[in-house]
Amino acid sequence: MSYPPDPNNPYGQQPPQAPQQPGYGYPQQGAPQQPGYGYPQQGAPAPGYGAPQGAPGYGAPQPGYGYPQQGAPAPGTIQANNGFINIANLGPVKIATMGQRFLARLLDGLIIGLVMTLAMVLGLGGAIGLVNNTKDCTSLVNDSVAYQSCLNDQISQASGGIMAGLFTSLAVIAAIGVLYEWLMVGLVGATLGKMALGLRVVKESTGENPGLGGGFIRYIIPTVGGFLCGIGQILVYLSPFFDNSGKLQGWHDRAAGTVVVKKQA
Q: Which helix (H) or strand (E) holds 203?
A: strand 199-203
pTM score: 0.59
Backbone angles phi, psi at 186, to 5 degrees: -70, -45
pLDDT band at 29 (very low <50, low <70, confident <90, very high): low
> Cα–Cα distances in Å, from 243 out to 115, 178, 246, 247?
34, 26, 7, 7
- What does the pLDDT look like over 112-124, one tens digit per residue? 989 888 877 877 7
* Of 199, 220, 200, nearest in space to 210 by CA: 200
Would you state the pLDDT for residue 64?
42
Sorting pLDDT into bands at 50, 70 and 90, what band is 146? confident
pLDDT at 197 over 90: yes
212 contact partners, CB below 8 Å, separation of at least 6: 182, 183, 186, 187
At residue 22, the 3 state secondary structure works out as coil
Instruction: Name the pairing type of β-strands 199-203 and 77-78.
Output: unpaired
* Nearest residue to 173 via CA among 130, 231, 222, 124: 124
Q: How far is it, in rounded angstroms, from Cα 75 to Cα 141?
A: 80
